[in-house]
Structure 1
């Protein structure tokens, strides 16, 4: 999101200073970054052509669903093509953004072991939405390793261990499939069901087959029928019934979790009641022992460098016009708080 904002600011002739915590561009797609939540097996869940920037397409030889390493290289090339790095301070951590009575903002950052500050006409926040783990609280104590999926990097962390993954979103399904191949066992604990979308339909990436725009009620009916043809019924292999309609929540784009559940490689478990040593008690009265529990339970919006009151924070998120514009200030913007099917990075570019 930050690079999309930087590119648009350059195109509009607006002078700006970018700050990046890491040593280079790439954001969460750079697995070596200090705030990256990437893992080795991660790939795009939307296809290349539906995700790329329109004026900077990926090479046609790139896979339909490229890996995080390919995407890191893509963002590096994007920054080179539009000469964006010269506008950034790297290894710079923004500490505070404070509005001034006379107008403008004082921004304080840490760089090179020292604090610095500067005055700016406005602030555009684009630090991403997938970096602050949402770690639930559990009853009891677990004596094995309990981590959030943000701390999961490599399948070696699972080797020889009995693994329980909590949460069946896209990351959770990726990680439990890793556990099939590298762990001693692979269980998946779910509070609710999900709609599954296979990555390929009729031999093509599923998101490239949208066709004509349809009313939502008809799109749900048509797409639901296609999904039943190609993904089958996840309830047959143990997944719970979804508690929401198709497209009311982001679907899980994964073909392998259902495949492995159908082969008995993944056991579907209900929600957790409590921990007791290495034993996990589930809400249906069953229990099992594990060495590693990974909570793939999502992320929280996190802007620690600015007072929440300045963001018109309500509930779990800032309350902004178009999820971007402050209702009373014309010098404060929050980018990236949008999610929609088919949005891709071009959608972020258009928001900027």
Structure 2
């Protein structure tokens, strides 16, 4: 019993996997793929239900995206109250908008509090449901063991690898001929080393905007390439969070009406963004978020620099022209010392999860039944794919953990009944 309790608390793989070098491991409780905020949230919720679990993580630590692929000045764009994971709030002394270092400190403390000990360096390459055995078979390659593959087996699989698992870099003609530096935003840390340089940032989302601001503050000359329309909103309205106001209004008003209100206030605060090259889409910001998952830009200072001309707006990139040249779709050409693709990330679920009814071909969760979009057939769950950020991931984690706990307890009760029956014979 003591060994079983230790397994449940420490969430370690079976002794057979650790010591014998066998290629198959039957785990207690569900398999969770991913040790980012979503994976930690569902693990913590399972811990509260006294359900053991095994977390597989391809990197060497928790929250790889936040630890290794974010810029230095990053802060949460929403107030901390909307970014808390289940059961534990942010420390009272944290700022309203925590820095990335604050958030990482919170996540590490969170993992320690719930004794979440992921198996690091395990890259999941395949997960399939074995209908004959009613079990999920998850193959993971270990970085430490020279690429040795282990098959983890469980009745339940939680996909928590996130919507931001792989970088997205568009294919642009002539890229190989560009003489300057080309990088994805995941490799950008600070504008300090770009001082005095002309830098083209491709993408006008929150990251693109904030990197342009950072570049400007470090003495670089940023240009932002805008392909389509974008909604820019002030981070705060009337002294409070724009997101918070929107959430309150949505309890009473239809989304289109809330969008009209947000855009009216945004125009009063920011002015007409189209005059400065940022065309607003026809659909409102919340409606677009609902349909596509794409968030509006919450301005943290870039907008004033766009208006002053310190951040210049340019059209979509058509091609690289050789040397330091870039051609835009309007036919104009300009020279740059560096190009940063702030073009986001995508899920990698389709590359390893086979025959799933929960995900589309591009790795997004199907939202045919939003109220239960976290649950699929045959003991499959997804957490963190709702397009609702950390708040949505926390809600999905609670729902998935409660559902798994109910099934776990039913299995345990059946096993106990069978044992009692055998004992009485």
Aligned counterparts of 1:345 and 1:99: Cα–Cα separation in 2: 24
Larger CA Rg, structure 1 vs 2: 2
Which residue of structure 2 aligns with residue 34 of structure 1?
none
TM-score w.r.t. length of structure 2: 0.74
User: What is the alpha-carbon distance in structure 2 between the residues aligned to residue 126 and residue 342 of structure 1?
Assistant: 12
Once the two structures are TM-superposed, the CA of residue 269 in structure 1 deviates from its matched residue by 0.4
Query: 1:342: how far off?
Result: 8.5
- Runs of 5+ consecutive residues of structure 2 not aligned to the other structure: 1-37, 290-294, 401-425
Unaligned stretches of 5+ in structure 1? 32-36
The structure in which a higher percent of residues are strand is 1
Compute the TM-score of the two structures, normalised by the length of structure 1: 0.88
Q: Which residue of the other structure, out of 286, 289, 294, is the alignment partner of 2:335?
A: 289
Match of 2:220 in 1: 184
Give 1:20 shift.
2.1
Structure with bigger RCO (C-alpha 8 Å, 6+ apart): 1
Flag the 1:71–1:231 CA change in 2: closer, same or farther, 3 A. same
Aligned to 1:105: 136
State how far apart, in whole Å, the 1-side matches of 2:170 and 2:189 are.
20
Are 1:89 and 2:119 counterparts?
yes
Q: For residue 61 of structure 2, give the secondary structure of its aligned residue in structure 1.
A: coil
Compared CA separation, residues 62 and 68, structure 1 to 2 (3 A) = same
Alpha-carbon offset, residue 240 of structure 1: 2.5
Structure 1 residue 229 corresponds to structure 2 residue 268: yes
Relative to structure 1, is the Cα distance of residues 295 and 78 closer, same or farther in structure 2, using a 3 angstrom cutoff? same
CA–CA distance in 2 between the matches of 1:279 and 1:54?
Answer: 49
> For residue 270 of structure 1, what is the aligned residue in structure 2?
315
Match of 2:4 in 1: none
Provide the alpha-carbon RMSD of the alignment.
Answer: 2.4
**Comparing 241-250 and 290-299, the one that deviates more:** 241-250
| Aligned residues of 1:97 and 1:305 also touching (Cα < 8 A) | no
Give the corresponding residue for 2:298. Answer: 253
Aligned equivalents of 1:242 and 1:215: distance in 2?
19
Q: Counterparts of 2:215 and 2:99 in 1: how far apart (Å)?
A: 19
Tell me whether 97-106 or 252-261 shows the greater mean CA deviation. Answer: 97-106
User: 1:9-36 CA distances to partner (integer Å, 9 max, x unpaired)?
Assistant: 22233322111233332342223xxxxx
- Secondary structure of the structure 2 residue equivalent to 1:317: coil
Q: Determine the structure 1 residue equivalent to 2:67.
A: 30
CA distance in 2, matches of 1:307, 1:48: 33
Q: Pick closer, same or farther for the CA change 1:21–1:54 going to 2, 3 Å.
A: closer
Residues 224/192 of structure 1: CA separation in 2 closer, same or farther (3 Å cut): same
Does the CA contact (< 8 Å) of 2:63 and 2:104 recur in 1? yes
SS of alignment partner, residue 110 of structure 2: helix
Aligned length: 343
2:387 is the counterpart of 1:339: yes
Distance 1:243 1:139 in 2: 30
Question: How far 1:281 moved relative to its partner?
Answer: 1.2
The within-5 A match list for 1:281-320 is 281-303=327-349, 306-310=352-356, 314-317=360-363, 320=366
Greater helix share, structure number: 2
Contact 1:164 1:189 in 2 (8 A): yes
| Equivalence for 1:146 | 182
Question: Aligned pair in 2 of structure 1 residues 345, 47: CA closer, same or farther (>3 Å)?
Answer: farther
Distance across 2 between alignment mates of 1:25 and 1:314:
26
